[in-house]
Structure formats: C-alpha cells, structure tokens
Amino acid sequence: MYTQRIYTDNAATSFPKPPCVMEAVNAYANDLGASAGRGAYREAMETGELLAEGRRRIARLINAESSETIVYAFNCSGALNMAIHGLLRPGAHVVASRMEHNSVLRPLHALMQTHDIRVTWIDADPTTGVVDVEAFNNALTENTALACLIHASNVTGILQDIARVGAACREKNIPLLVDAAQTVGHVPIDVQAMNVDLLAFPGHKAMLAPLGTGALYIRPGLENKLTPHIQGGTGSVSDEPVQPDFLPDKFEPGSHNALGIAGWVASLKWLEDKTIDAVRAHDLELSHAFINQTQGIDSLRVFGPTDPSARVSVFSVAIDGLEPAELAALLETEFGILTRPGIHCAPFVHETLGTTSAGGTVRLSFGIFNTLDDIAHCTQALAELAGAKVGG
C-alpha cells in the first residue's frame, strides 16, 4: 500500500486550494456571516461588496462587458440549466456537439421529451474528439434557437474552436452557449473576441474556489430572452411581487453561497497574481511531459490530441485487459494516484472513442499544484501496470 497521495482528479474539482481560499472562507464565517442584500448593517454591506468584487474579478478574467453580466450559480450544471431551460421554447431547434457533458445532454433530453425540441448532434473525431466545425456551422439554420459547444472535453482534454463557431453563430444571430467547465481558470478566455453569448463555468475547478460555486455569463441584452425558472427574494425592488427583470437579480433568487464566494474572491486574486498565462504555461508543460513519457508504452492507450497546445491536461487512458475500475484501484493502492474511472458523465464521448463497452477509461486530470515529479510518477506507474499486463 502506497501512503503518499497524488491527486489527479482536478477535472472533478481542484485540490488542494491555495491557503488564502480557506483563510477567506474562515474570515467571512467568523467576521461577517451575513446574507448579502438582506440587512442595512455593515456586515451585510461588506458581504454584498464581496459578491460584487467576485463579479468584477470574474468579468475581468473572461473579458465580459460588465460585472452585472455574471450571474452566480451553485455549480456549472446550474449555470448550464439556467441557460438551456431559460432560452428554449417548445419546438425549438438546437445544434450541439456529441462531446457535451451530461449537464448539457440531460437538460436537452428533458426538453426533447417535454417541449418537443429538436437537436442536431454534431460528431467528433474518434481519436482526438475534435468537433467537425464545418458540419456544426452548416447545421445552423435561421430557425436554430441555440448552439451548444463545450470548450474543452472532460474526457480527452481537446479544445474546440469556439471562436470559429462563435463567428458563424453571430452572423446568423444564434446564441452560443459554451460549457467552460474545464477551461475557465486554465486557459485565457475572451467572451467578446470569441463571440460567446452564454458561458457556463464552475468556480470550484480550475478557478480554485470551494465546491458549491459557479456562474453564467450572459451577454448584455440576452437576459431579455431568458426566462428564470426559479423566482424569489433578491433584496432588490422588494415591494414588487414579480421577479426583477435586470441582471443579475433576475436569475439570482434566494440567499447566496457567501461562504463559497468569499473563497472564490480569494482564489481569483491568487489567479490574477499568478496570471492566467503562467497557469496555461504550467498546464502545457504538464501535458507535454505526460504525452512524451507515455508515448511508446506497449498496450497503454492515451486518448485525445498529442499536440499539447490543442488540449488541456485532462487525459483518458486505458490498458488492454484491465477494466477501468481495476486500473484506477491499482493506481490508488499501489501508487497512491487518485483518478476517476468510468464514463465521466459523457456517454456520447465514449461512444465516439469506442470505449463504452469497455466501461470507459481512467481519467487523470492535472491542476496548478501538480508537478513534473507527479507526472513522472504517474507515467512510471502506467508503464509498470501496462508492462505487467503485457508480461502476463
């Protein structure tokens, strides 16, 4: 039994968080503890200022037009559902890729059943997972109500060409929803340059905030086309019994997760100091090392692109003759490596890769606190396990 623990499940949630994150959570809990917008006293005001600061920092990170375009959610799934359920009306046509996560697939399938929406699914390359952009753009018609494209796959790490799809969507005036669960905080994003209308993301993955944090960016003006599916108190226009129609209050009923957002503000400051370019450079270095060190290992399959610049450091692997659950268990018990086996909430991706019947793959996803030593340990472990399998 290996006692050291190497965390490689950053695509699920990042770990560890920078120490300043938990310090900020504690400071909020001990010194403020109030609900934003709910009281006239200093602590409630300061909590409101924390929320506002978080919006400003997020808006700056993704080059949003203003901080009001950032609507808090509890995770990326909440943000994606806010966009999909908010925008789609009965009979609507949607174009979506087969690389999407269940947090897009499931709301779409629910609306296929209840609202008769139609979805054109766009295939991806079976080796890399790159979506056929030409097919995607050709499928957009004047009746298309929404286009959905994931930024980076949570299975193969492949980055999709959002800007190219964004340009086609803008030309046809079709809102583009991007699932940036695996990219915000990992790679530079500019929603205006990329023509993104709706960007859904978690705070708790590469942005290094605590669990229970996420947000939806809504391009100014688009909020008028989105219906909120939860209504409630916002602390604003309280004399009105109807939901406010302005951002962000229209989509933020109820008390906020101020504990999580206090941590998020701290992690955003930490990321700003570090710079997103340095984070991306680290990610590229890890990908480069992982790809180089796994090339040529007999009976080990590594999915996704071999060009580090075409991906984030999310890797799916398989060893012939070992079930994903078995491989993950061996990696943990023999080498202390924490991974995620299975289908990764992405059934169409595994169909595309041809890995469904094998029970999926094992995913190793790296983060800002992983080192080149961690990569060497992981690739050595995979080589040993693959070698043992080949040797029988």
Ligand X SMILES: Cc1ncc(COP(=O)(O)O)c(C=O)c1O
Residue 129 binding ligand X, by CB under 6 A: no
Q: How far is the CB of 15 from ligand X (least distance, A)?
A: 14
Residue 150 binding ligand X, by CB under 6 A: yes
For residue 184 the two structure tokens come to 């915000």
Q: How far is the CB of 77 from ligand X (least distance, A)?
A: 3
- Give Rg (Cα) of the chain: 21
Q: Is the CB of 76 or the CB of 119 nearer to ligand X? A: 76
CB 103 within 8 A of CB 345: yes
Q: Which of 6, 76, 158, 343 binds ligand X (CB under 6 A)?
A: 76
For residue 194 the two structure tokens come to 């990329």
Residue 154 binding ligand X, by CB under 6 A: yes
Q: Which of 101, 256, 282, 363 binds ligand X (CB under 6 A)?
A: 101
Q: Which backbone phi and psi does 63 adopt, to 5 degrees?
A: 55, 45
Burial label, 66 (beta-carbon count in 10 A; 0-12, 13-18, 19+): exposed
Q: Which of 55, 117, 179, 374 binds ligand X (CB under 6 A)?
A: 179
Residue 84 binding ligand X, by CB under 6 A: no
CB atoms under 10 Å from CB of 114, counted, come to: 9
CA 15, CA 368: separation in Å to the nearest integer? 9
Which span (20-28, 175-183, 254-262, 320-328) binds ligand X, by CB under 6 A? 175-183
Q: How far is the CB of 12 from ligand X (least distance, A)?
A: 6
Q: Is the CB of 47 or the CB of 77 nearer to ligand X? A: 77
Q: Which of residues 5-34 bind ligand X (CB under 6 A)?
A: 11-12
Placement of tokens 């004047």 in the chain? 142
Q: Which of 14, 156, 182, 355 binds ligand X (CB under 6 A)?
A: 182
Residue 103 binding ligand X, by CB under 6 A: yes
**Count of residues binding ligand X (CB under 6 A)?**
14
CB 4 within 8 A of CB 19: no
Residue 75 binding ligand X, by CB under 6 A: yes
Q: How far is the CB of 86 from ligand X (least distance, A)?
A: 16
Distances 215 to 22, 55, 138, 291, 353 between C-alpha atoms, Å: 20, 9, 30, 32, 30
Q: How far is the CB of 214 from ligand X (least distance, A)?
A: 5
For residue 168 the two structure tokens come to 């086609």
Residue 183 binding ligand X, by CB under 6 A: no
> Is beta strand 314-319 parallel, antiparallel or unpaired with respect to 300-302?
antiparallel
Residue 214 binding ligand X, by CB under 6 A: yes
H or E element, residue 333: helix 324-335
For residue 3 the two structure tokens come to 């006692």
Q: Which of residues 295-314 bind ligand X (CB under 6 A)?
A: none
Residue 197 binding ligand X, by CB under 6 A: no
Q: Is the CB of 93 or the CB of 344 nearer to ligand X? A: 344
Residue 202 binding ligand X, by CB under 6 A: yes
Q: Is the CB of 216 or the CB of 319 nearer to ligand X? A: 216
HSE at residue 65, side-chain half, CA atoms within 13 A, is 14
CB 153 within 8 A of CB 170: no
Which span (56-64, 75-83, 235-243, 329-337) binds ligand X, by CB under 6 A? 75-83
DSSP string of 215-267, one letter each residue: EEEE-TTGGGGPPPSS----SSSTT-SS---STTGGG--S---HHHHHHHHHH
Residues at the contact surface with ligand X, assessed by CB under 6 A: 11-12, 75-77, 101, 103, 150, 154, 179, 181-182, 202, 214
